Structure formats: C-alpha cells, structure tokens
Amino acid sequence: MVNITRTLLALAFSGLLVACASPDGSGPSTGDKRELASAPSGAAVGFAPEDSLSLCPRMQVSNAPATDGQGKVRGYRPFATFNGVKLLVNPAPRGCLSSSFGSRNGRLHKGVDYQSDPAGPVVAAGPGTVLESGYRDDYGNYVLIDHGAGVYTRYAHLASRTGAAGQGKAVKLGTQLGIMGNTASYRIPVHLHYEVLLGDYGTPSKSFGLEPVDPFSKM
Ligand SMILES: [Zn+2]
C-alpha cells in the first residue's frame, strides 16, 4: 500500500513538472488520461474540439449550411483539411454560426463569423506560428497564424489578445489567442471573423495576396 501511494505521488509530481515546463500551459501529456482522453495529440491542455455546431438562433445567417430540426449543421465535422493541414472549422468554442463564407450584400464575405453570449474565447485553429498580431481599422485586434504549406488563418475583431498570441510565438491547436469582441473603426456586433487563407505570403501584398477559402468546403 505504501509503495502504491509513493508511485502515485511520483506520477503526480512528474505531471506537475511537465505542466509547469510549458509557459502557455499546453505541454505534452501529463499522464492524466481522464482530462486528455478527448483531446487530439499535440493540442493545448484542456482543449477538445466540439463535434457539433449550431446556427445562431433568431438570426438571418447568410449562406447558412443545411441544418437538422434543432438548428445543428448537418454533416458537421470539427476539422477541415487544406494542403494536408488540419484546421478547426470553428475556433470559437461554444460559439454559434452567425454568418457563413460567400456573397453577402453584394460583396464576398471572406470568412466565417461566430458569436457567443457572453463573448467567448478564440483559439488557434491548428498548430503554427503567429505571423501578425496587431490592430487595423477594418479587422480591429487581429491575429494571423502561419500553419505551413501555404495555409494561414486570421482571427479578427478580438476584444483582447493573450500573451500566447504575440508575433513570432508558436501556438498549438487550441491555444487561446484572445476573447471575441467588436473592435474595428465601425460599429459591429461582438463576434469572431475567422478566415482561412491559402497561397504565398511572401509578396508585397502579404496576407492580402492570399486566397480566402471556405472552411466548410473541406470538412
Ligand atoms: Zn466576418
């Protein structure tokens, strides 16, 4: 009995040490299988993708995908794959879909919008490196992540950005980037505007030379 207790204590401490060694709290498996059972390997600790997505109730959702009787997106999968890179379709845990990708009011809506009440966290859609983290009049507080293979994601209108979302930082799937908000130079509801972008960032146009794509098209 004493031996078992000692072994358990040793395991608990080794787990603590590993957890403390990762500054963003997203270290490797700590041995606590209960907590990490549903998290994909390599994901930030405590993060698990949601296996369903609902349209925001009582809203006119542009380009809304087909739903079941309860407003859940039919055939929803948590991940979409671009150039072999797996990305979350919804990087706003607990968020609902408020606007989809495509033509909206005669213009191309280059991303997907998610809302939650109260405003919820926004996480990295996949592992990568923060390429840009800043403020623009059109995107408000935003983060742009390079996932490799010519795949990028942008998260706009954040109320705040976390330290983990600083330029040059490596992020994991599920690393929290900030809280959704309504920052921009014009009035908008609190939401996340999420873009998946493909192409070559190394041109004078940088991210604006990239092609926006619909994450629902590849899930
Ligand atoms: Zn949007």
Q: What is the pLDDT of residue 40?
A: 77
73: DSSP letter: B
Strands 151-161 and 79-82: unpaired
Confidence at residue 38, expressed as pLDDT on a 0 to 100 scale: 59
Domain shared by 4 and 100, yes or no:
no
**Using CA atoms in the order 168, 170, 176, 181, what is the torsion angle rounded to 10 degrees?**
30
Q: Ligand 1 mean position to 139 CA, how many Å?
A: 9
Looking at the fold, whether 95 and 191 belong to one and the same domain comes out as yes
pLDDT (0 to 100) of residue 16: 36
Q: How far is the CA of 23 from the centre of ligand 1 (A)?
A: 31
CA of 193 to the centre of ligand 1 (A): 4
Distance 191 CA to ligand 1 centre (A): 8
DSSP 150-186: TEEEEEEEEEEE-GGGSTT-EE-TT-EEEEEB--SSS
Ion ligand 1: residue ranges with CB closer than 5 A:
111, 113, 193
Give the count of domains, the chain. Answer: 2
Give the model's pLDDT for residue 176: 98
Instruction: Indicate the residue type of 185.
Output: S
Same domain, 124 and 201: yes
125 plus 196 within the same structural domain: yes
Which CATH number do you get for residue 188?
2.70.70.10
Show the domain range for 13: 1-30
Predicted confidence pLDDT, tens digits, the chain (219 residues): 444 444 444 444 333 333 333 333 343 334 433 333 456 789 999 999 999 999 999 999 999 999 999 999 999 999 999 999 999 999 999 999 999 999 999 999 999 999 999 999 999 999 999 999 999 999 999 999 999 999 999 999 999 999 999 999 999 999 999 999 999 999 999 999 999 999 999 999 999 999 999 999 999
Same domain, 78 and 25: no
C-alpha to C-alpha distance for 14 and 142, rounded to whole angstroms: 37
Are 65 and 130 found together in one domain? yes
Strands, E assignment, 60-184? 79-82, 85-88, 96-99, 102-104, 107-109, 112-115, 121-123, 128-136, 140-146, 151-161, 170-171, 176-180
Same domain, 67 and 41: yes
One domain for residues 91 and 14 = no
Shared domain check, 100 and 18: no
Helices (H), the chain: 2-21, 33-36
Q: How far is the CA of 171 from the centre of ligand 1 (A)?
A: 23
Quick one: 147 and 178 in the same domain?
yes
Beta pairing partners, 140? 136
- Domain identity same for 61 and 165: yes
Closest C-alpha among 140, 43, 38, 127 to residue 86: 127
